[in-house]
Amino acid sequence: MLLLVGEIYVDYTQPKLGLECKLRLGGVVHAARGAWAADVEYSVAAVCPSYLVEQAERYLASHGCSEFILIGDVVGAPNVILIGDSTEVSDQKYEDLLRDEKRVVLNETDSFLEAFSEVLIFPGRFDLSSLRSFFSESASFSFDIAYGLDDLSVLDDYADNLRALIVSTSSTLFETEGADDVALLLAKMKALGAEVFLLKENRGGSRLFDLQNGNVENVPAVLRDTVNSVGVGDVYSAVMLGFVDEGWEEAAWRGASAATSYSQTTYPDDFKKSVQRALKLPLSLLRTMGGTILPWHVRQKYSIYFAAPDFANFEREILDGVIDSLSYHNFHLRRPIEENGELPPDSNLANLKATYSKDYALIQECDAVFAVPLDRDPGTLVEIGIAIALEKPVITYDPKGENDNTMVIAGSTRYSQGLDECLNGLFDALSKLSRDRS
């Protein structure tokens, strides 16, 4: 039986135009939903504020949890997370209420946890060194490191009992030790004796590194309109560990498939139906269904021309949101306004032609164009046309629906009034370029 260890939170998705406002149990409960949906036998060892214990235990019991063990209390804070962006087009802006006042007090568990041999831990504010003493010497541990762990040396107490180390590109650990080159992380994980390292790369898929033989398995992401991305990575990890007896490669594919289903709905019964359908497919068929593979460290190789009224005196909220989004996902954005300058309104023809030539050359140099033609900006529309003529992938984000013209829509590789869909379109387009050039 798989034991899931972590904190239980209340997730509150803040109201946003066109998106559902959601309140639900989060933290390790996301992983529990994944195990339940995939018919993985599991129990939960939880760190939880006292006011949530009864509700959490009841909820988990109704979703397949065999045993609920309270291993720690959260005091000084409600364990409520405010979520600013549930679709993760950019930083999700998590706010842990009263986080500076929060403390975790671990309980005496007698020998309850010594019976578990397969343990998946989601680090939080609890002490991992103290937690190790709760388990038998022979237990196997996996860690999903999204937050709560910035230094792998904390896992020294678990060395040589490690199975999978799982890291997201949005985690602090990755930002500090893997964002430029993943080799350092790989070396440290191998030194700890881990079997595999799974790097979850958001919409770009994931990579499973076999630390024993050096093989790398690329698992694609299947991109659809995201309903809610919160907890998607937790589901991936729980399902993968639930299927580890089938081999790490199949386990990773099953986890990724379940994660895709979790991003499509916040209703557990619908989620389970989707997972059960996918489990009927053999791995050989899953591999043929395609998807997006665009690793984090490959994205900087592709230049993206930013076609937009990117002027200092223009309304910046939408444009800055796009820039933040592409930066968050590690894309190499080329802004002609920064590289070639912004001309004053009374510029003479010679200066206009010189700037036009430099902007045109930059479009030629770039691999794709991300266009935001706000207020039907004529310059942006011309840039779209040039890129189409040059057979560049063009992603057109039209948040106000001002440019729903046949030529713009049909000529664009992806056209949408939603940033989520346009971001998916960019990942798909560059993934295709990467395949074509390899």
> Residue 260 is part of a domain; what is its CATH number?
3.40.1190.20
> Is the confidence at residue 144, as pLDDT, over 80?
yes
| 424 assigned to some structural domain | yes
What values do phi and psi take at 404, rounded to 5? -80, 60
Integer Cα distance of 132 and 154 in angstroms: 11
Determine what percent of the chain is predicted with pLDDT higher than 90.
Answer: 88
Shared domain for 28 and 65, answered yes or no, is yes
Which of 268, 286, 304 terminates a domain? The answer is: 286
Whether 278 and 326 map to the same domain: the answer is no
For the beta carbon of residue 26, count every other beta carbon within 10 angstroms: 23
Full domain range(s) for residue 268: 2-286
Mean pLDDT of the chain: 94
What is the structure's pLDDT at 48? 96
CA–CA distance, 413 with 418 (Å, rounded to integer): 14
- Domain identity same for 240 and 350: no
**Domain identity same for 176 and 324:** no
**How far is 37 from 273, CA to CA, in rounded Å?**
8
pLDDT in tens, 29-64: 999 999 999 999 999 999 999 999 999 999 999 999
Torsion of CA 34, 38, 43, 48, to 10 degrees: 10
How many Å apart are CA 88 and CA 104, to the nearest integer?
28
134 and 7 assigned to the same domain: yes
- In this structure, the answer to whether residues 18 and 162 fall within a common structural domain is yes
pLDDT of 64 reads: 97
Could you report the per-residue pLDDT of 125-139, keeping only the tens digit for each?
A: 999 999 999 999 999
Q: What is the mean pLDDT of residues 312-341?
A: 95
Do 363 and 386 touch, CB atoms closer than 8 A?
Answer: yes
Q: Are residues 222 and 313 in the same domain?
A: no
Domain membership of residue 7 (yes or no) is yes
Query: What pLDDT shows up at residue 18?
Result: 63
10 and 98 share one domain: yes
Is 334 inside a domain boundary?
yes
Output the pLDDT for position 141: 98
- 56 and 70 Cβ atoms separated by less than 8 Å: no
Among 200, 11, 203, 13, smallest CA distance to 89 is for: 203
First-to-last alpha carbon distance for the chain, in angstroms, is 42
With respect to residue 104, please indicate whether it lies within any of the assigned structural domains. yes
Does residue 315 sit in the same domain as residue 253? no
What pLDDT, on the 0 to 100 scale, is given for residue 345?
A: 85
pLDDT at residue 224, rounded to an integer:
87
Mark which of 256, 286, 316 sits at the end of a domain: 286
Q: How far apart are CA 37 and CA 15, in angstroms?
A: 28
Same domain? 278 vs 167: yes
In sequence order, what are the residues at sequence separation of 6 or more whose Cβ sits closer than 8 angstroms to the Cβ of residue 290?
220, 222
pLDDT at 17 over 80: no
| 247-to-168, 350, 417 alpha-carbon distances in Å | 21, 65, 42
d(CA 206, CA 141): 21
Amino acid at 216: V
Q: Print the SS3 string covering the chain.
A: CEEEEEEEEEEEECCECCECCEEEEEEHHHHHHHHHHCCCCEEEEEEECHHHHHHHHHHHHCCCEEEEEEEEEEECCCCEEEECCCCCCCCCCCEECCHHHCEEEECCCCCHHHHCCEEEECCCCCCHHHHHCCCCCCCEEEEEECCCCCCHHHHHHHCCCEEEEEEECCCHHHHHHCCCCCHHHHHHHHHCCCCEEEEECHHHCEEEEECCCCCEEEECECCCCCCCCCCHHHHHHHHHHHCHHHCHHHHHHHHHHHHHHHCCCCCHHHHHHHHHHHHCCCHHHHCCCCCECCCHHHHHHCEEEEECCCCCCCCCHHHHHHHHHHHHCCCEEECHHHHCCCCCCCCCHHHHHHHHHHHHHHHHHCCEEEECCHHHCHHHHHHHHHHHHCCCCEEEECCCCCCCCHHHHHHCCEEECCHHHHHHHHHHHHHHHHHHHC
- Does residue 333 belong to any structural domain of this protein? yes
**Domain endpoint, select from 253, 286, 319:** 286
Q: Could you give the CA distance from residue 226 to residue 41 in angstroms, rounded to a whole number?
A: 28
Beta carbons of 142 and 255 less than 8 angstroms apart: no
User: Cα(150)–Cα(176) distance, rounded to whole angstroms?
Assistant: 8
- Number of compact structural domains in the chain: 2
Alpha-carbon distance of 426 to 332, in angstroms, equals 12
Same-domain status, 278 and 321 = no
Q: Within a domain: residue 65?
A: yes
User: What are the distances in angstroms from CA 308 to CA 215, 318, 358, 379, 380?
Assistant: 42, 11, 16, 8, 5
- Spatial distance between the Cα atoms of 276 and 255, rounded to a whole number of angstroms: 12
Residue 112 lies in a domain: yes
Beta-carbon contacts of residue 287 (< 8 Å; ≥ 6 apart): 253
Structure confidence by residue, pLDDT tens digits, 367-419: 999 999 999 999 999 999 999 999 999 999 999 999 999 999 999 999 999 99
The pLDDT of 312-340, averaged and rounded, is 95
In a domain, 291, yes or no: no
> Which CATH number fits the domain that encloses residue 422?
3.40.50.450
12 and 34: one domain?
Answer: yes
**Residue 146's pLDDT band (boundaries 50, 70, 90)?**
confident
Mean of pLDDT values over 137-158: 92
